[in-house]
Structure 1
Amino acid sequence: MSERRVFLDVGIGVTRGIVTLDGRPERMLLQRNDDEPRLALGARLIARITKVEPAIATAFLDLGGGHEAILPFKPEARPVRGGAIVIEIRSEPRDGKLAVARQVGEGEGAPRLLAEAPGVREALEFLVRDVPIIEGREARRTADDAEAEALETIHPLPGGGTLAIEPTRALTAIDVDLGERKGVDAKRVTRHANHAALAESARLLRLKGLGGLVVLDLVGRGHDGAALLAAARLAFGPDNPGVAIGPVGRFGTMELSIPRRTRPLLERLRQADGALNDRTLAERLIRRIQVEAEAQPGGRLAASCAPAVAKAAEPLARLLAARIGARFVITSDPARPRERLDVAVA
């Protein structure tokens, strides 16, 4: 029987929530202090309809503060341009795509936030019921491990082989590779690898926050389509409602459609070229200073990083100083590689 545990790491300017499945990270929720509350999953707002496109059954919404969303509608429920409605954010914005909303009532007045989205703690309690939430150092370590795994492209498969997960603008491609997976019966080896790949794909897609169209390239030939479909339904059950699974195609691929809800974790942690963004590096630097400060009570600390990271760390450093005192200094070094972060006793 699968076991899920829940962790909450309340850091400096960022809160991370982790759900593990049998000891491995399955979900990671990330909430930063500078996130826009109007665009968070579950937020409720008064929105103004600015444009209606009947050809694509979509309305464009003004959320206030320069933020927008789209509202899909049915032909019999076509909204009226200029009207005010109450909406709830059902899918966060991602990579140039607007947030998606659903209408929950009629509204009046200017666009504005009515109710913020549930916080990380509330979201964890909703995802995993009646399980105690673990905090403190264990939660921090678990969150660090989950973040590291989410950033990987190639993942090991239980029993041998690998799984490569690569998102594109159109879809997420998953490639299963047997590698040196051992066994006398080749058909049995490939069957077990494909079933393991489905379970791992489901876990890792949830961890990375990836949805939409997914194409999984299975190994071997002559697949047992019914068995694989049953395994996929079991693996992706936690992502329902809204999951659609296609049969194994003639080329050995399986297509799935998974609801998009939160912004993909990779988009939040990385910049366009795939490197960690300045905010992510700044958070890591602040965490290292905090850990060292806990290990050296009263000691003075010196940190060094690239200029862009130091700039991103400034507001977080003020929050940390309010907690542990101004006993650390962050030095900007133009010659330092972006991802090199050093913290030492001064």
Structure 2
Amino acid sequence: MSQNSRPPVREILIHERIGELRAALIDRDRIVDLRLERWSTHEARARWGQTYAARVTALDTRLGGAFLDLGVGEPAFAPFGRERDPDMRVGAGLHVRVVREAEGGKGPTVVSEGLAPAGPCPALIQDVPPWHGWPGEPREAEGVEIDRLDAAFEAALVPEVAIPGGGVLTIECTRALTAIDVDSANRETGGSDPARFARSLNLAAVPEIVRQIRLRGLAGLICVDFTGPRRKGDPEALTKALISAFDAEKNGGVAAPKTEVLPVSRLGIAEIARQKRRPALADICLDRSGQPTGETLAIDGIARLAEALRTAKGRHVTLIAPQAALAFLQADPIGWQGEVADTIGGAYRLEAARPGQATCEVVIT
């Protein structure tokens, strides 16, 4: 392969299907970051990086900030600390930028960039795409690339992840923090020195830990339980490796979240504080029990239906959906039925799944 025909070091792939847009950042042919935007929330919430002409509705000195109306979604909060800008007063119009999206009943967080420009207020000033903060321009995924994106999003919702060379990461999210456990699993011991084996496993796990944090959109407090036993100098080596791996995230112009890594404790626990910007992938796709939401199941079902309609050639097509997905499909808050009619066409019907069926199914008869 000539130098001119080599694939780019970094590129952005996007794929929009009915109900959502998926984006992936690829670095040296490996997917390192994922973004997902649902049609259902595209215009219903403020998104990280957007700027608004916002109206100040209230000041709260106890919280040290102001509440603002963005014209969309929940009221936003703009912290002002001890010294409040004179422009930040009730009724004022401010030019603000979203630095954290709404989550868990809390509205978005914004920072003021001065007085709002002349014009409607509240109102959106500048929109941003889902891949905002990644370097370069996107291109549409095709063929096997779409399958690759599908597999990456599916894998990013699974609790267990293989470590290159053997071993397993288990990732569990709670309200307070995200816990990541490093386990040797099926990794070859390579000798009779347990401490040396543990060091090798832990260092091999670090790049995958950082990659999974990026892929899944994990933020807030993240605790990593490295395996033992440990020798003198191992905690320092792991701390250095983690810091280096997060620093590498910014290579090539990626606007990475602020991340702080505390020294690994003598018990082998690493504490990571990562800036929250967007909902984690699991928060979008899964319910509190860790199962796919009705919307997630429905969007997958619509994709299956669309593919079936393209190949049915006059035969009857039935989309069989679990109850939660069926309710979403019938309510149609995203206008998927009109989209199917306009872009694909063909007749189909919806049917409730049998008890115990967990995913959508398409039947052609």
Above 0.5 in TM-score? yes
- Displacement after TM superposition at 1:215 (Å): 1.2
Task: Give the structure 1 partner of residue 24 of structure 2.
Answer: 18
Task: Give the structure 2 partner of residue 286 of structure 1.
Answer: 302
Q: Using the alignment, how far apart are the partners of 2:57 and 2:200 within structure 1? A: 52
Q: 1:322 aligned to 2:342? A: yes
Paired AA for residue 274 in structure 1? G
Q: Using the alignment, how far apart are the partners of 1:338 and 1:53 within structure 2? A: 50
1:75 is paired with a residue whose SS is coil
Q: 1:234 aligned to 2:244? A: yes
1:151 is paired with a residue whose SS is coil
1:163/1:76 CA distance change after superposition, 3 Å? same
Q: Over aligned residue pairs, what C-alpha RMSD do you find? A: 2.5
Q: 1:176 aligned to 2:182? A: yes
Paired AA for residue 83 in structure 1? A
Paired AA for residue 112 in structure 1? P
Q: For structure 2, which runs of at least 5 residues remain unmatched after alignment?
A: 1-7, 251-255
Q: 1:343 aligned to 2:362? A: yes
- Displacement after TM superposition at 1:273 (Å): 2.1
Q: Using the alignment, how far apart are the partners of 2:261 and 2:163 within structure 1? A: 22
2:319 is paired with a residue whose SS is strand
- Displacement after TM superposition at 1:36 (Å): 4.4
1:153/1:22 CA distance change after superposition, 3 Å? farther
The counterpart of 1:269, out of the listed 277, 282, 285, is: 285
Q: Using the alignment, how far apart are the partners of 2:180 and 2:51 within structure 1? A: 35
Q: Using the alignment, how far apart are the partners of 2:338 and 2:264 within structure 1? A: 54
The counterpart of 1:6, out of the listed 5, 12, 19, is: 12
Task: Give the structure 1 partner of residue 215 of structure 2.
Answer: 207
Q: 1:100 aligned to 2:131? A: no
1:4/1:298 CA distance change after superposition, 3 Å? farther
Q: Using the alignment, how far apart are the partners of 1:265 and 1:296 within structure 2? A: 33
Contact 2:74–2:108, Cα closer than 8 Å, also in 1 = no
Task: Give the structure 1 partner of residue 123 of structure 2.
Answer: 113
Task: Give the structure 2 partner of residue 67 of structure 1.
Answer: 74
Contact 1:309–1:338, Cα closer than 8 Å, also in 2 = no
Task: Give the structure 2 partner of residue 156 of structure 1.
Answer: 162
Q: Using the alignment, how far apart are the partners of 2:325 and 2:33 within structure 1? A: 27
Q: 1:86 aligned to 2:95? A: yes
Task: Give the structure 2 partner of residue 47 of structure 1.
Answer: 54
Task: Give the structure 2 partner of residue 217 of structure 1.
Answer: 225
User: Kindly, what percent of the aligned residue pairs are identical?
Assistant: 29
Q: For structure 1, which runs of at least 5 residues remain unmatched after alignment?
A: none
Q: Using the alignment, how far apart are the partners of 2:119 and 2:60 within structure 1? A: 23
Q: Deviations over 1:247-272 (max 9, x none)?
A: 11132111111111111111110122
Question: How many aligned residue pairs are there?
Answer: 340
Contact 2:66–2:78, Cα closer than 8 Å, also in 1 = yes
- Displacement after TM superposition at 1:52 (Å): 2.7
- Displacement after TM superposition at 1:24 (Å): 4.6
- Displacement after TM superposition at 1:212 (Å): 1.3
Q: 1:147 aligned to 2:166? A: no
Q: Using the alignment, how far apart are the partners of 1:9 and 1:295 within structure 2? A: 21
2:149 is paired with a residue whose SS is helix
2:123 is paired with a residue whose SS is strand
Task: Give the structure 1 partner of residue 3 of structure 2.
Answer: none
- Displacement after TM superposition at 1:65 (Å): 4.5
1:66/1:29 CA distance change after superposition, 3 Å? closer
1:59 is paired with a residue whose SS is strand
Tell me the TM-score normalised to structure 1 length.
Answer: 0.88
Q: Deviations over 1:82-131 (max 9, x none)?
A: 432111111111222321111112127774232353223x53xx51437x
Q: 1:249 aligned to 2:258? A: no
Q: Using the alignment, how far apart are the partners of 1:268 and 1:86 within structure 2? A: 28
Paired AA for residue 242 in structure 2? A
Q: Using the alignment, how far apart are the partners of 1:33 and 1:242 within structure 2? A: 28
